[in-house]
Amino acid sequence: MKKYIKSISQTIACGALMLSVFGCTDYLQEVNKSNFTQDSYFTSASQAQSAINGLYAGLGMFNTDNGYGERPWVSLELINGHASTLGQSFYNSQFINQTADAANPPFKTIWQTSYNTIGSANLAIQRIPAISMDEPLKKSLLGQAYFMRAFFYYHLVRLYGDVPLITTPVDASSADLYPTRASQEDIYKLIVSDLTTAEQAGLPVADQTGRVTVGAVKSLLASVYLTMAGYPLQKTENYALSAAKAKEVLDSKIYSLFTSYDYLHDNAHKNQSEFILQAQYATGIVNNSISALIIPYFARISVYGDEYGAIIPTEGFYNTHESGDLRAQERQFYFTEYPSITDSTKIVKFGVHALYKYFQKESALNRNVNTDENWTLLRLPEVMLIYAEASNEVSGPTQAAYDQANTIRTRAQLKPLSGLSKEQFREAIWKERYHELAYENKAYFDTQRTRKVYDVVNNRMIDAIGFKNESGAIFTEKYLLWGIPQYEINNNKKLTQNKGW
């Protein structure tokens, strides 16, 4: 937890991910921050804005480089068993084979980034109220801080279970310098409280710059309620709350499905239509390697210095797509070949179905464009499927629930669902989540809350514990949570480790 205690210069700096969007033009200039303190910094509206801008940088944690082809978003997919790797990563292979230990780099990345961002949010929540500034702007800034705190605690509690609950700034004299773990139930109480506060903060209903909107707040809250209704809390009364909150997003008509799947990974459609919240990237400011990670190892179809082959869908999962599913067709969600970067008349055949869903043509084919593909955190189809699933648990498959699922299926050129029992509809929605939200870091969290995994050989959902997936790994109870990073346990003797780690 030592890195949780950040210098004030780190806390107030504009988030690198948001520089071009929010115009923090002074960030790259030499500025002496040695005189900044917690007491002296939060004195103006511009300082409050800068502090909130800085929180957005944390959203990039899923694409933090932990090594050759190692990123937290890749780890979250490999652990669920429907992806393999053609690259050279030792740690990625550990996730596939479920032989990871608590020293695995992504465990530390998510933990530290989350608590660093939470620490900055806590400081903003404490200091901004005393600043003399426009009150609606102040309320909006605080709403963003509450959202961010909830967002990161939501990932911490799902990944690690009981975690330290820290809601005030920490310094060397704080009682929370070496905290103990709080119960998951207490963490969820704070998450719901923070999101409820953010929901009433006057946030914009729409925004194409990457800012948090009221739609993002409601969407995350719908997801939180759905998770609370499942394992481990099993507070089933939250299904109704989840459905109601998702319906508010859908009824707002702010978001709409793209007419082409290409728009999921190009630059022209960032932060638009079905994108509810994305982590922001911009050429020349902060780049990522999403597109390079999905290209089979050394395929030579791009100008990237590396083509990692870090995450490759298993053929078993690919084969579960229904006949005629547009998403499974070439250059929709997947691709099996592409012109050589050295000779466009030659076609490179991969021998696998790689993730075209994340292939960014702008940067892959142009040496003058750095990879700046946004990473999607919340997308309209997820909210639609949350509504369908949650409302089904309350009252069975209503026409409204069918409509949401079938709108997604119509875009995929599939026949509509109809005439299903509650149990059949539940499983159909779970499968639809796997196919529509494929490799978007949703499947592992679905396994946690449902205790079910996708048996791709028999095209059915079955109990997770004891299941041998297509990679040959047997899912054990240990992997329902991540290990508390060994680094943190070494530095804080009050922390205990999760079972099996």
Identify the pLDDT of residue 39.
65
186: three-class secondary structure by DSSP: helix
Compute, in degrees rounded to 10, the torsion defined by CA atoms 293, 298, 301, 302.
60
Cα–Cα distance, 47 to 24 (Å, whole number): 11
Distance of CA 280 to the CA centre of its chain: 13
Distance of CA 71 to the CA centre of its chain: 12
Six-digit token string for 382: 């997820």
- Please check whether residue 382 is in contact with residue 223, taking contact to mean a CB–CB distance below 8 angstroms: yes
Six-digit token string for 483: 């290990």
Residue 15 has pLDDT above 70, yes or no: no
Residue 296 has pLDDT above 70, yes or no: yes
Residue 91 has pLDDT above 90, yes or no: no
303: three-class secondary structure by DSSP: coil
Confidence of residue 25 (pLDDT cuts 50, 70, 90): very low
Confidence of residue 77 (pLDDT cuts 50, 70, 90): very high
Residue 451 has pLDDT above 60, yes or no: yes
Cα–Cα distance, 278 to 373 (Å, whole number): 10
Quick one: average pLDDT of 8-23? 33
Single out the residue of 472, 499, 500, 463 nearest to residue 162, CA to CA: 499
Beta strands in 49-208 (DSSP E): 83-84
CB-CB neighbours of 151 under 10 Å: 29
Six-digit token string for 89: 């990563």
Cα–Cα distance, 318 to 457 (Å, whole number): 11
Quick one: average pLDDT of 251-275? 97
**Residue 435: HSE in the Cβ half-sphere, 13 Å Cα cutoff:** 27
Helices (H), 253-369: 290-294, 315-318, 361-364
> CA-CA distances (angstroms) from residue 480 to 112, 154, 171, 232, 406?
20, 15, 33, 10, 31
Identify the pLDDT of residue 116.
96
Six-digit token string for 477: 């109870």
Residue 254 has pLDDT above 70, yes or no: yes
pTM of the model: 0.92
Residue 13 has pLDDT above 80, yes or no: no
Which own/partner contact pairs does 186-190 have at CB distance under 8 Å and 24+ positions apart? 187/153, 187/156, 187/157, 187/162, 187/163, 188/157, 188/224, 188/228, 188/233, 190/149, 190/150, 190/153, 190/165
Q: 């700046």: which residue's tokens?
A: 372
- Please check whether residue 60 is in contact with residue 425, taking contact to mean a CB–CB distance below 8 angstroms: no
Quick one: average pLDDT of 143-167? 98
Identify the pLDDT of residue 19.
28
Confidence of residue 284 (pLDDT cuts 50, 70, 90): confident
User: Domains in the chain and their CATH numbers?
Assistant: 2-73+101-259 (1.25.40.390), 289-371 (no CATH)
DSSP state of 414: -
Which of 91-95, 110-114, 302-306 has the weakest average pLDDT?
91-95
Residue 408 has pLDDT above 80, yes or no: yes
pLDDT tens string 152-163: 999 999 999 999
Identify the pLDDT of residue 285.
87
pLDDT tens string 328-361: 999 999 999 999 999 999 999 999 999 999 999 9
Residue 33 has pLDDT above 60, yes or no: no
DSSP state of 269: T
- Please check whether residue 373 is in contact with residue 291, taking contact to mean a CB–CB distance below 8 angstroms: yes
